[in-house]
Amino acid sequence: MTRLRLATVRPQEPEIFHSLQGEGISMGRPSVFVRLSGCNLACQWCDTPYTWFFTGHSAPHRGAQTYERRDNSVTLDIADVARTISAFDCRHIVFTGGEPLLQQPALAALCALLGPDFHIEIESNGTVALTSSFAPHVDQLNLSPKLRHSGNGDAARLNEAALQAYAADPRAWFKFVIASPADAEEVADLAARFALPADRILLMPEGTSANVLRERSIWLAALCQTQGWRFTDRLHIHLYGDTRGT
């Protein structure tokens, strides 16, 4: 029996839902989201802390509230996950988290069970390399390498070998979360260091309210124009707010 650890909308209810992709190059596309539980990083501004910031975690988070693992995580057989996904009658799937690439063996088995008719999109922090068994199932990689303001140490947030491999992968897009104009200098340094293609770099304002996003979008949009990078908003925040299952 192959199982996945999933985040929950409420206790024992997995966070598998049909919505519009809110970020990145596929923004606005109807998709089935499958949110996995667990992460290898601890971003202090993370907007899904219930996927990893469990009671007893030692890292800081600006929300301060920790979450009980048993109420915010559920383990399901991949056959049950496949049935839930198929019920939405949507062929575009987004595996998100947390960090979904921590569970690649189960994801590979799930994709094999679903069959080849689904478009598989991954949202990852870019620290975990694709495995040979899962890589053939992936159509698109939305990578979000973390900057220093995330609160993660350099060794934790940057996997040089993985980023170099992703830079050469045409499926990979690089989305950076920006909190201040100075963050763009760090993006430029990483782009040069890892040879990230400029036309696959996206900058996104950090924020979990429409007001904050609008304020930061004004100067961030202008910055993207200057640098020749793409801008991406957070559509789901404007439409639904900072809520689970949207």
Measured CA to CA, the distance from residue 94 to residue 120 in angstroms comes to 6
Measured CA to CA, the distance from residue 163 to residue 143 in angstroms comes to 9
CA angle 85, 88, 92 (to 5 degrees): 70
Measured CA to CA, the distance from residue 3 to residue 78 in angstroms comes to 5
Overall average pLDDT of the 168-179 stretch: 98
Phi/psi of residue 187, nearest 5 degrees: -60, -45
Instruction: Label residue 1 by pLDDT band (50, 70, 90).
Output: confident
- Domain 3-174 indexed as CATH 3.90.1200: no
pLDDT of residue 172: 98
Overall average pLDDT of the 146-174 stretch: 97
Question: Which amino acid is present at 115?
Answer: G
Strand order in the sheet with 92-96: 16-20, 30-35, 92-96, 119-124, 140-143, 172-178, 201-205, 230-231
- High-pLDDT (> 70) share of the chain, %: 100
How many helices (H) and strands (E) the chain has is answered by 8, 11
- Taking only the tens place, the pLDDT of each residue in 106-124 is 999 999 999 999 999 999 9
Instruction: Label residue 217 by pLDDT band (50, 70, 90).
Output: very high
Overall average pLDDT of the 214-218 stretch: 97
pLDDT of residue 64: 85
- DSSP class of 36: B
pTM (global) more than 0.85: yes
Q: Is-contact 139 171, C-beta < 8 A?
A: yes
For residue 151, pLDDT over 90 is answered with yes
For residue 161, pLDDT over 90 is answered with yes
For residue 63, pLDDT over 90 is answered with no
Domain ranges for the chain: 3-174
Overall average pLDDT of the 187-215 stretch: 97
Overall average pLDDT of the 203-209 stretch: 97
